[in-house]
Amino acid sequence: MATKTRPVVGIIGNSTHIEGRFAVQMAGERNLRAVAEVAGALPLIFGGCPGLTDIGALLDTVDGIVLTGARANVHPTRFGIEPNQAHEPYDERRDAMALDLTRACVERGIPVFGICRGFQEMNVAYGGTLHPEIRDLPGRMNHRMPRLPTGEIHPDPMVIFADRHDVTLVAGGAFAHLLGRETIRVNSLHGQGILRPGERIVVEGVAEDGTIEAIRIKDAANFALGVQWHAEYDPQTNPINRALFEAFGAALSPVRHAA
């Protein structure tokens, strides 16, 4: 028997096409770097599709899971509303993988960290609902990424990923304890958001407009946290996001495999 020198973290892939023709599974490099450089683990991309990835075999192999953000929204039929072209694209294969995977991680005590879409998947996995365009609710701000007056996405990543609003954390909660404060400031790049929390979803942080931004899964035996913001963007330099990835890394327990 040999012991792994580093824990392994599975990073979910997203279905997309290159040049409109070639089907691929992809994950953003910042997710990989956050896991490698801050959580101290080996990142391993897996197919976000039940036909490619067996959940049991995956969880026998990895020590933790990151459910990343993605361009696609969770399909509305997963939480009881009709789909609308305005809220596309969708990635139903990832839906089928991520919702079951979230529950399996919690059942087996394997750390799971949900980011943006991953945060929304955690909520839906436990029966919660989403609003397809959170900015349309009365009193809510526009949480989508900044755009130029022409409507094009702003070309400067420093502008896109800049901290844009405060999040108030629950006093005495898991996030407040982990981060050592009750107010943080975060980036914002999402349209869809949590409407009704799921059965085991505990709200831990709320934006100044009432949008849910931080959650944990009740009675999970290990790390099971989700954030609406993109914590993977700058944990090397951002103390809030660093603390989250360091805590995720500390929760990983490498399993033993045959040499």
The catalytic residues are 116, 230, 232
Q: What is the DSSP string of 75-137?
A: PGGGGT----GGG--B-HHHHHHHHHHHHHHHHHT--EEEETHHHHHHHHHTT-EEES-GGGS
| CA atoms of 114 and 23, how far apart (whole Å) | 24
| CA atoms of 39 and 190, how far apart (whole Å) | 24
Q: Single out the residue of 249, 244, 17, 227 nearest to residue 117, CA to CA.
A: 227
* Dihedral of the alpha carbons of 228, 231, 233, 235, in degrees to the nearest 10: 170
- φ/ψ (deg, to 5) at 124: -65, -35
Element (H, E) at 29: helix 29-33
Amino acid at 37: E
